[in-house]
Amino acid sequence: MKSSTLSSPSATKYYNHLDIWHKRTYIVRYGSLSGRRGRLPSKTKVQHSDDPPSPPLPLLTLINKAYVESKTIVTPTLYVRCFFLRDRINGSTEQLLSAMDEEFRFLLLFVEKIPNSTEISQNDITKLIERNFFALLALKLCYGWTESNSLHMEQIEVDIAAVPQPLKLLFSLMQEEAKRFQQVIQWDSPSFSALLALQFLNTKECGGELLSSDAAVDRLRGTITSALKDHCCNSSPPHTKKLQTIIAQIEMFARFQRIGQETLSLVVSSGVQLPPLMSSAAQSAQRFPGPSKFLEFPFFPLIFSTVSSYADKIQ
């Protein structure tokens, strides 16, 4: 009876299952999966190695993503968003300078997220932002201008009419430039982000001083320019000179660098202490020969007398 039971089909099936179970537990306990608990799956998952990988995102998309992400990061020194009200002029110079210091940090976050920017040394990144800070700031404010009497920074909305001199002149020039900037082409986010990156990579404001990672800067500039060219060729509606128009803005906004540095000099002369990053930007300023860049703006004479009287007061 016992022998017939063991040789029956059901018993054979039972022992076959038992043998398979032992093999599986042996593999789990002693094989390549040692330490794993439980039984192995009855079916092995098939690896689809022939499946193509997801295509990489276009470079300009990644640069625009870096710009958006840098704007959404809250830093520990975030200030309260407010207007420069006419009845709250006292202390607004220091507050605006602090907000400009934060703009420097936002730009630093943006640059560090640009693909292949890690090939540029940290010292060169800081130096390039210092030498292009006011051009970069002007670009951001002109792009975000909404045809009002104020400019939108990351932390504050600047009511230009209430800003004291000499900063009032600087922001007034930026507002006037915004009217021109928004009309040159129909701006899209990737094109603007690429322009901002190229403005950062502008080495003409370095006064001939060599960077330790100069080759990496040139390489990244060329890569972004090529990607921007492809983007412009595929834009809709077509714009035959869109690339040239965008590249031309780099030199146009470079004027703001000297204007900003001259403004900081006036601020320091008035006895106001600059915050750390603005102080570094002022100290890294080159001695520019020739007349002031203020004179290159056609609307400058309308507000020149106010600034001249301010400069006379602090001398």
Per-residue model confidence as pLDDT tens digits over 62-113: 999 999 998 865 544 333 334 444 333 344 789 899 999 999 999 999 999 9
Q: Give the whole-number percent of the chain exceeding pLDDT 70.
A: 64
> Tokens in use for 302?
């309308």
pLDDT at 77: 39
Residue 310 pLDDT > 90: no
Q: Give the whole-number percent of the chain exceeding pLDDT 90.
A: 49
Is 22 domain-assigned? Answer: no
Domain count, the chain: 1
CA distance 263 to 138: 14
Residue 156 domain boundaries: 59-288
- Whether pTM exceeds 0.75: no
Mean pLDDT of 18-47: 54
Is 6 domain-assigned? Answer: no
Q: In Å, what is the CA distance from 112 to each residue of 175, 248, 280? A: 28, 25, 19
* Pair 66, 191: CB distance under 8 Å: no
Per the document, the length of the chain is 315
Is 33 domain-assigned? Answer: no
Range of 6-10, 36-40, 171-175 with top mean pLDDT: 171-175
Quote the mean pLDDT of the chain. 78
* Phi, psi for residue 152 in degrees, rounded to 5: -100, 110
- Kindly indicate the confidence band of residue 138, based on its pLDDT and cuts at 50, 70 and 90: very high
Buried b (16+ CB within 10 A) or exposed e, 251-265: ebbbbbbbbbbbbbe
Is 37 domain-assigned? Answer: no
Residue 37 pLDDT > 50: yes
Per-residue model confidence as pLDDT tens digits over 230-288: 999 887 766 678 999 999 999 999 999 999 999 999 999 989 999 999 999 888 765 55
- Which residue is associated with the tokens 């006036």? 266
CA distance 137 to 107: 9
Is 304 domain-assigned? Answer: no
CA distance 155 to 99: 7
Is 312 domain-assigned? Answer: no
CB atoms within 10 A of CB 1: 5
Is 213 domain-assigned? Answer: yes
pLDDT at 184: 93
136 vs 39, which has greater pLDDT?
Answer: 136
Per-residue model confidence as pLDDT tens digits over 73-87: 554 433 333 444 433
| CATH assignment at residue 182 | 1.10.565.10
- Kindly indicate the confidence band of residue 200, based on its pLDDT and cuts at 50, 70 and 90: very high
Residue 61 pLDDT > 80: yes
Range of 21-35, 216-230, 269-283 with top mean pLDDT: 216-230
Mean pLDDT of 170-185: 94
